[in-house]
Amino acid sequence: MKWYDICNRISLLLHALVSAAGYFLIEAISRHSFTEAWDFMTGRPLVFAYNAALIFTSSLIVYLFRRRCFIRVLLVMFWLLLGIINGVILATRVTPFTGPDLHLLTDGMALLEKYLPKWGVIVALIVLGLFALTLLALIVKGPKFKGKLKYRWNIPLVLAGFVLFAGVTQLALEKRVLSNYFGNIAFAYEDYGYPYCLGVTIFDTGISCPRDYSEKEIKRIEKTEENLPETREGEYPNIIFLQLESFFDPELVNYLEISEDPIPNFRKLMKEYTSGYYKVPSVGAGTANTEFESITGMSLRYFGPGEYPYKSILKETTCESAPYVLGELGYSSHAIHNNEANFYGRRSIFPNLGFDTFTSAEYMPEEDDKNPLGWTRDRVLTDEILKCLDSTEDQPDYVYTISVQGHGAYPEEPELEEHEITVTGSPTASKNNQWEYYVNQIHEMDNFVKELTDRLEDYPEDVVLVMYGDHLPTMGLTVEDVDNKYLFQTQYVMWDNFGLEKKDVNLAAYQMAAEVLDRVGIHEGTVFRYHQARRNTKNYQVDLETLQYDLLYGEQHSYEGENPFKRTKMRLGLYDVTLDGVSLVSAWDHTYRITGTNFTPSSQVKLNGEWYDTIYVNPTTLMISGTELEDFDRLSVVQRSNSSTRKALSKSYDRSCYMLFDENKWKLPTEDN
């Protein structure tokens, strides 16, 4: 108790020291390195001091309680737990722990199983148990502050501390010590510290209400579009967007020496068809945000720093988009992605964007065509795109395709046994290895571009194909490293098979859909019409912000006060799986052949409601073994997620192991009968 009393007298000093030490530990865990945490502390001391002050300020609430020891330990555990969560997440993905990820904490076991191996789950549960026991012990036997709580002084002083910290925050933003715009959220966390960035992503979200927002203002904006022509009548072309993962021209990097042109086909198309630079909202990551802008026509610059609408507003509401707008003209809308359906939550978000179908890697028979890092190669997408076009006979299609082959993180050690292109010029051997791996991946992607355009050239329907990179690769590039002196842009080409005029123009991702629709004579959609009428005019950005606020967060005056877009009943995959038969192959080891249609490597058998190890043979055959099927066993085939949570994606396709017919029991057929 004597030591407790002494600590209470110098508690503010101890608070400051513990806050600084605790914050250093948090950064070390997040960066997976004490050395990098030290470099951050010494290299950006003002940012480090600010984040330590944030933790210190949050701890001032202990002066409002008698059980100060308990509250102090609780706060220490809270911040430490946040640091551990971020460190664990960054071990398996590029994007750090953000505000929208907080909903994961409500399903603790799912979070542990997704990001930790089995032994890690056990360790995590032990640590959480120790935390809980420590807190319980402090509640029962922990010391209490014996002095009189002077609330008339403590409350104003604590509030003054928070007000002072708010002032420091504003000053830090004005002096550019901090930033409230995150072009790359992973880099922002490294530059501005985990506590600050996490707080920003929690509290600064959505679009703020513009000062002049009103129904009158929305009507004024709509009147500026009166010069647009009417949408032409007749048949419309198929429209395909191909978003190429981390794809850009590496010859723009001025220090690289590349043995041959890695993207000759894309470069040739740029010379022959409409092309230009493609301004994207992020660098090195943020695929879903480039995707959001390209599908909806909305700009991310008005949302919160580092915000992913897929993780925030689109989980709550539908949003005007190309699928909804084109659906009114008779289009069928398809999404394709050669990665798992749950990546960025697309499985649940795409119905709020109006898609009719979504073909993810789990629905592709070529899913096992992987590159050395385990990402599915993009060449599997050619057939999937053609399948979407062939799936509708009398209506045009809108197909949004998201590739994954170029995804990082790129290996620092040589990964490719054979490669066509060599790369030198980087400052280190490890960086050369990363660039060489990346360049050879996009070279394969460039070959896929040629294969796709060759197939579409002779397609019997008109097609517009827009291809572009979603962002620059995660290579630590600076503006001095690239010839175009800008990191927030890739390149695009607008290819077609019916003779559109070449018209080179640089565009932002949120302007592309409007440009494509304008080129084919379609002038529909609140946002698309706005871009077509107002691009490069006075107050273009100001009015766009007002319009976006109205559609997503305001009174929706553009829709007469009611959102007209209903969540679609999107189907996963173009065609249903069928389960046609089960036959005994070997009675010795109880091996059975399951026949049907549209099986993929993600098709898995459920036996009496339990998952069963399944061997994928081909799109019509699966195999199981190790158990004897008995009377009235229920066997199902289900498409299962590729994520670590391994959730079911489709309904069950069932077949009873014994069938009844005319009151006679027919056993499973064998190879002989």
Mean pLDDT of the chain: 87
Residue 2, pLDDT score? 61
**What does the block give as tokens for 484?**
């175009």
For residue 82, give Cα distances in angstroms to 61, 192, 381: 19, 16, 39
Residue 587: DSSP 8-state: T
Least confident of 127-141, 243-257, 282-296: 127-141
Residue 286, pLDDT score? 82
**Backbone phi, psi, residue 375, to 5°:** -85, 140
Residue 669, pLDDT score? 47
Residue 400, pLDDT score? 98
Q: Which architecture, in CATH terms, is 237-571? A: 3-Layer(aba) Sandwich (3.40)
| Confidence class for position 277, pLDDT limits 50, 70, 90 | very high
Tens digit of pLDDT for each residue in 535-570?
989 999 999 999 999 999 999 999 999 999 999 999
Least confident of 82-96, 135-149, 169-183: 135-149
H or E element that contains 585: strand 578-586
Q: Report the SS3 class of residue 636.
A: strand
Ranges of H-type helices in 175-274: 185-192, 194-203, 215-223, 264-272
Higher per-residue pLDDT: 17 or 464 = 464
**What does the block give as tokens for 636?**
């199902």
The pairing of beta strand 463-469 with beta strand 238-244: parallel
Higher per-residue pLDDT: 151 or 269 = 269
**Does the pLDDT of residue 181 top 80, yes or no?**
no
Residue 409, pLDDT score? 81
**Does the pLDDT of residue 649 top 90, yes or no?**
no
CA distance 478 to 50: 26
Highest-confidence range of 135-144, 187-196, 266-275, by mean pLDDT?
266-275
**Spatial CA neighbour of 620 closest among 583, 647, 673:** 583
| Confidence class for position 68, pLDDT limits 50, 70, 90 | confident
CA distance 577 to 622: 12
Higher per-residue pLDDT: 382 or 100 = 382
For residue 505, give Cα distances in angstroms to 63, 92, 263, 280, 513: 61, 38, 20, 15, 14
Tens digit of pLDDT for each residue in 304-345?
887 889 988 999 999 999 999 999 999 999 999 999 998 888
Q: Report the SS3 class of residue 279.
A: strand
Please report where in the chains the tokens 């008339």 appear, as a residue: 152
**What does the block give as tokens for 224?**
């500026």
* 387 within 8 A of 364, measured Cβ to Cβ: no
* 260 within 8 A of 423, measured Cβ to Cβ: no
Residue 671, pLDDT score? 45
Q: What is the mean pLDDT of residues 345-369?
A: 90
Q: Report the SS3 class of residue 153.
A: helix
Q: What is the mean pLDDT of residues 292-301?
A: 96
**Does the pLDDT of residue 660 top 70, yes or no?**
no
User: 11-31 and 2-9 are packed helices; what angle lies between their axes, rounded to 10 degrees?
Assistant: 90
Correct CATH for 576-666 of 2.60.40.10, 1.10.10.10, 3.40.50.450, 3.30.342.10 = 2.60.40.10
Ranges of H-type helices in 411-508: 429-457
**Backbone phi, psi, residue 253, to 5°:** -80, 115
| Confidence class for position 5, pLDDT limits 50, 70, 90 | low
CA distance 472 to 469: 7
Least confident of 163-177, 322-336, 626-640: 626-640
Residue 147, pLDDT score? 64
Give the domain ranges of the chain.
Answer: 2-203, 237-571, 576-666
**What does the block give as tokens for 6?**
């002494």
Residue 188, pLDDT score? 86
**What does the block give as tokens for 600?**
């993929």
Residue type at 359?
T
Q: Report the SS3 class of residue 648.
A: strand
Angle (CA) 577-581-582 rounded to 5° is 115
Give residue 217's Cα distance to chain centre: 34
Residue 664, pLDDT score? 35
CA distance 311 to 138: 37
* 408 within 8 A of 385, measured Cβ to Cβ: no
Q: Report the SS3 class of residue 256.
A: coil
CA dihedral 303, 244, 500, 506 (to 10 degrees): 50
Q: What is the mean pLDDT of residues 591-610?
A: 90
pTM (two decimals): 0.83
Least confident of 120-134, 174-188, 279-293, 474-488: 120-134
Tens digit of pLDDT for each residue in 30-41?
998 999 999 999
* 247 within 8 A of 445, measured Cβ to Cβ: yes
Angle (CA) 548-278-475 rounded to 5° is 110
Give residue 667's Cα distance to chain centre: 48
Please report where in the chains the tokens 């993600």 appear, as a residue: 602
| Confidence class for position 673, pLDDT limits 50, 70, 90 | very low
Q: What is the mean pLDDT of residues 193-217?
A: 91
* 592 within 8 A of 633, measured Cβ to Cβ: no
| Confidence class for position 659, pLDDT limits 50, 70, 90 | very low
The percentage of residues in the chain with a pLDDT greater than 70, rounded to a whole number, is: 90
Tens digit of pLDDT for each residue in 407-458?
988 888 887 777 889 999 998 999 999 999 999 999 999 999 999 999 999 9
Residue 13, pLDDT score? 83
**Does the pLDDT of residue 517 top 90, yes or no?**
yes
